[in-house]
Amino acid sequence: KKVRTILERSIDVALDSLKCYCNDPVSDFTRCRKLPARTLIECIMSFSNYSSIGELSHFFEGHGKMPSASALSQRRKLLDPDIFKRINNLFVNAFDDHTTINGYHILAQDGSDVNIPFMDDKTKTEKHDAKSFCQYHVNALYDCLNKVFYDWSIDEASKKREVNALISILKDRNYPQNSIYTADRGYESYNLMAHFIENDIKFVIRVKDIHTKVGLMTNVRTEEGAFDMRINRTLTSLQTKEIKADKEKYIFVP
């Protein structure tokens, strides 16, 4: 009951600034319809894994006449998806009993492919010996201890924007300040590390194997077996003989 009350209150607060999330703040959601903004939001949030007709049937069962799938599609186009981020942030931050380790939230960033119906060439993905299909790539920031999401972005199927997606999430600051970020090898980047450091954020990033040709650990001499060592590297755009001779210390950045 408490969770439901907080969720409803979060929706109410988001709806107070509904005009900020409409394509046309003057006319959108002003006329009386079967799907007013609040009903539309609650309907979308109740979606599971059925067709549009199936989802509407479940939601409107016992609640009067059901709108058509076309009406749902038209109304949904009027609403900026960012309103769900607003509701999520209000909801998650309304609780004060979050689990932490030594006062720190443990956050994990990763990406996942989501298959969708065929749309266009931007979302089209092709693999060897397989038919083409369409996907979105979802980048999400997850609290490992409290099992909640703080932020996310939805991109085209290519995974090339994973690092930039996390940098954008850092700039939005929709997360606890007392956090430790964790990420896998796809986020190995000097640029990302610089953003963490400049924003005074603690982080742990898994990097590629020491024997790979391109990676943060490339050209670093390490001990046999497990090791714990501090590495100092200098990023430079120069290409002098001294820099080329000491690849362990200097990293050339075009």
Specify the CATH architecture of the domain 105-206: 2-Layer Sandwich (3.30)
* pTM of the entire predicted model: 0.82
**pLDDT (mean) for 114-141:** 78
Instruction: Kindly report the backbone phi and psi dihedral angles of residue 49, in degrees, each rounded to the nearest multiple of 5, phi listed first.
Output: -145, 35
Rounded CA-CA distance 218/245 in Å is: 14
Write out pLDDT tens, residues 85-127: 999 999 999 998 999 999 999 999 999 888 887 767 777 777 6
The pLDDT tens digits for 189-240 are: 889 999 999 999 999 999 888 778 778 888 888 878 788 888 888 889 988 9
Domain boundaries along the sequence of the chain = 2-92, 105-206, 212-254
Provide the residue count of the chain.
Answer: 254
At 128 the pLDDT is 57
Judged by DSSP in three states, 71 sits in helix
SS3 for 1-62 is CHHHHHHHHHHHHHHHCHHHHECCCCCCCCCCCCCCHHHHHHHHHCCCCCCHHHHHHHHHCC
CA distances from 53 to 26, 49, 61, 73, 97 (A): 30, 11, 12, 11, 39
Q: What is the torsional sign of CA 67, 69, 73, 76?
A: positive
Name the nearest CA neighbour of 144 among 114, 109, 169, 174: 109
Between strands 202-205 and 179-183, the pairing is: parallel
